[in-house]
Structure 1
Amino acid sequence: MAEISSWYHTREEIEKNSPSRLDGINFKEETFQRWSYTSFLQELGQRLNSPQRSIATAIVLCQRFFTRQSLAKNDPKIVATICMFIAGKVEGYPRPACDVLVVSYKVLYNIKPLKDVFERLKVTVLTGEKLVLSTLGCDLDIEHPYPLVMDWIKKSVKAEDFRRLCQAAFNFVNNTLRTSLCLQFRPCQIAAASIYLGLSMCKMKLPCDGDKAWFQEFGITKRQLAEICDQTLDLYVQDFVIPRGDCKQIKIDETRSSQALQGHQDDKVNCQT
């Protein structure tokens, strides 16, 4: 339990006391690098035809690595490539290191690596795998919000709304991976916030269960729910991200909804009948 707890940090610890910060990398640069290597992993995984769970595992492993190692001393794209290689084995979708390397190079440079370049990269990745595993303490058991989201939606909404709400909530889960939320909150808490945002996106009514708020079963408070929602939506207004058409309006509406969580009585969040 102690090892599991050690992976979770406060937002202040991540933003002010990370190894990268201590090495002189400012918050904005680290935030950009996080967005960059997580986006890289998403594309790499898709080109490898890896399932989303395997991609998500690679991203979480990479994020955890950089809570203990500095961006100033480790190439994030090399570390990300190693994490994808490891994640494939962890999740039961292993790919040969050669395949991962070649596709990784194509994602970065749009060409195949020359033989001598490939051989150097192969040595770097296979050697680097030991550093990544050592840094992570060989703790590779990663939980994800996806099954929690699916189970809750399946039992809570009409069958005709299942697919639409699942897709919206899953999209928000994927978006949280571009932030440091997986380092701050547990999968069940991220699942609750992603469902909340998905419900709002789909303009679906939030359920009521007497005096009990629906999100309580996820072990999350109103304040935590608001914080996760706000940090997820903040991703769309980063100056290195091109916002999509309706994201700005979603942020305005959801920020107001999140703020309203703080003062709502009887632990009910926008509960409609």
Structure 2
Amino acid sequence: MSFVRNFEPEGRHLHGGYRSTYDHANYAKYDAVPASLKRRKYAAPAWEDSQMYYLPYTVQNNFSSANFQAPPTRSNADTSTSASLQLDWSIFEDDKPSFMSRDEIDRYSPSRKDGIDVRHETHLRYSYCAYLQNLGMRLELPQTTIGTAMVLCHRFFVRRSHACHDRFLIATAALFLAAKSEESPRPLNNVLRASSEILHKQDFTMLSYLFPIDWFEQYRERLFEAEQLILTTLNFELNVQHPYAPLTSVLNKLGLSKTILVNLALNLVSEGLRSSLWLQFKPEHIAAGAAYLAAKFLNMDLAADRNIWQEFQTTPSILQDVSQQLLELF
């Protein structure tokens, strides 16, 4: 298997951030809802299983707009049985980024309370990342902006359950926010049109004939609600640091800036966006793990330079952990 693709540095467009073998058209491949979830509204968009138009739940189910921003109320029994699945979310309210272990992310995800196991949630994460990559490419956004949107979604769903929120709507709003925060904004109507075409697999001009006359305005309102929900859930913290800069900086110091190692390591970083690594490690740690794994693929011995891992400010255990999680993506 070849892992090498053409990588374009930050600020330029990378259209090969994911393996070409990934089927971007089938985002809902893993959306089968467990029987235990049939008691509640599951966050599968209507386009996945019917010809219903993509409207806010406020329209489809006659809910008030406030209901969109809060998960369904659980019974006392549900609350008591899930007491062990609690985490002190105040750690995310500091100015400096806080990190969780992989075990904490897997065990304390709000989706566990709704019957979504780790494997299912992983597939849901992959699906919204593939969708974001497709949407970002259509909007000609830099890869760093697309990556920021993915990380914002990861941060959102480590606090909110997949069973209560439409991940594709959240992803669309996250990309709209990321484009603004990364100083590469796109007009809202352009984002909505492109996302509608991807979700419905129809040219935008055809959608006006298929859906009610005000469907686009309702979709716009729903995205505004999702944008506000993301901001409040993340405490208005949209800053995301990526490993691209520390990776290229350290390898440049070693005289490896124009080698296949850099290209492969950068692509491994882009692949890693599908994982929860950004919730677990600092950017330089992810960069080190990507460089370490790339060197192993190429049978290169980076350990010959004893200062390289010190440059990344990392340890052998972190190297092993990051590289192993990257390897699991293939």
Give the conservation status (yes or no) of the 8 Å contact 2:250–2:311.
Answer: no
SS in 2 for 1:188: helix
1:185 equivalent in alignment to 2:276: no
Whole-Å separation in 1 of the counterparts to 2:290 and 2:147: 15
Quote how far apart the aligned CAs of 1:201 are. 2.9
Whole-Å separation in 2 of the counterparts to 1:170 and 1:116: 44
Corresponding position of 2:248: 150
Q: Percent identity at matched positions?
A: 39
Corresponding position of 1:131: 229
Whole-Å separation in 1 of the counterparts to 2:236 and 2:257: 41
User: CA distance change for structure 1 residues 106 and 194 in 2, over 3 Å: closer, same or farther?
Assistant: same
Give the conservation status (yes or no) of the 8 Å contact 2:248–2:257.
Answer: no
Whole-Å separation in 1 of the counterparts to 2:139 and 2:175: 10
SS in 1 for 2:152: helix
User: CA distance change for structure 1 residues 73 and 159 in 2, over 3 Å: closer, same or farther?
Assistant: closer
List aligned pairs for 1:207-218, cutoff 5 A.
Answer: 208-209=304-305, 212-218=306-312
Task: State the TM-score, normalizing by the size of structure 1.
Answer: 0.80
Whole-Å separation in 1 of the counterparts to 2:232 and 2:161: 15
Corresponding position of 2:30: none
Q: Which of residues 289, 298, 301 is equivalent to 1:205? A: 301
Quote how far apart the aligned CAs of 1:9 are. 0.9
Moved more, 151-160 or 9-18: 151-160
Quote how far apart the aligned CAs of 1:159 are. 5.5
> 1:121-149 deviations in whole A, cap 9, x for unaligned?
11100121111000010111111000111
CA-atom RMSD in angstroms: 1.8
SS in 2 for 1:172: helix
Give the conservation status (yes or no) of the 8 Å contact 2:256–2:262.
Answer: no
Give the conservation status (yes or no) of the 8 Å contact 2:111–2:163.
Answer: yes
Corresponding position of 1:229: 323
Corresponding position of 2:195: 104
User: CA distance change for structure 1 residues 105 and 24 in 2, over 3 Å: closer, same or farther?
Assistant: same
Q: Determine which structure has greater relative contact order: mean sequence separation of CA pairs < 8 Å that are 6+ residues apart, divided by chain length.
A: 2
List aligned pairs for 1:1-273, cutoff 5 A.
Answer: 3=94, 7-111=98-202, 112=204, 113-114=207-208, 116-158=214-256, 160-161=258-259, 164-206=260-302, 208-209=304-305, 212-236=306-330
SS in 2 for 1:68: coil
Give the conservation status (yes or no) of the 8 Å contact 1:47–1:103.
Answer: yes
Corresponding position of 2:78: none
> 1:134-175 deviations in whole A, cap 9, x for unaligned?
0010111111000111111212134652xx222211111011
Whole-Å separation in 1 of the counterparts to 2:329 and 2:256: 30
> What residue ranges of structure 2 are gaps of 5+ in the alignment?
1-91
User: CA distance change for structure 1 residues 226 and 121 in 2, over 3 Å: closer, same or farther?
Assistant: same
Whole-Å separation in 1 of the counterparts to 2:124 and 2:97: 23
Quote how far apart the aligned CAs of 1:86 are. 0.2
Whole-Å separation in 2 of the counterparts to 1:178 and 1:89: 22
Moved over 6 A (4+): none
User: CA distance change for structure 1 residues 139 and 158 in 2, over 3 Å: closer, same or farther?
Assistant: closer
Quote how far apart the aligned CAs of 1:200 are. 2.6
> 1:27-85 deviations in whole A, cap 9, x for unaligned?
11101001111111111111111001101110111100111111111100000000000
Q: Residue type matched to 1:167 in 2?
A: N
Whole-Å separation in 1 of the counterparts to 2:147 and 2:159: 19
Whole-Å separation in 1 of the counterparts to 2:302 and 2:155: 33
Structure with the bigger percentage of helix: 1
Give the conservation status (yes or no) of the 8 Å contact 1:168–1:202.
Answer: no
Whole-Å separation in 1 of the counterparts to 2:218 and 2:176: 17
Whole-Å separation in 2 of the counterparts to 1:69 and 1:159: 40
Whole-Å separation in 2 of the counterparts to 1:81 and 1:7: 25
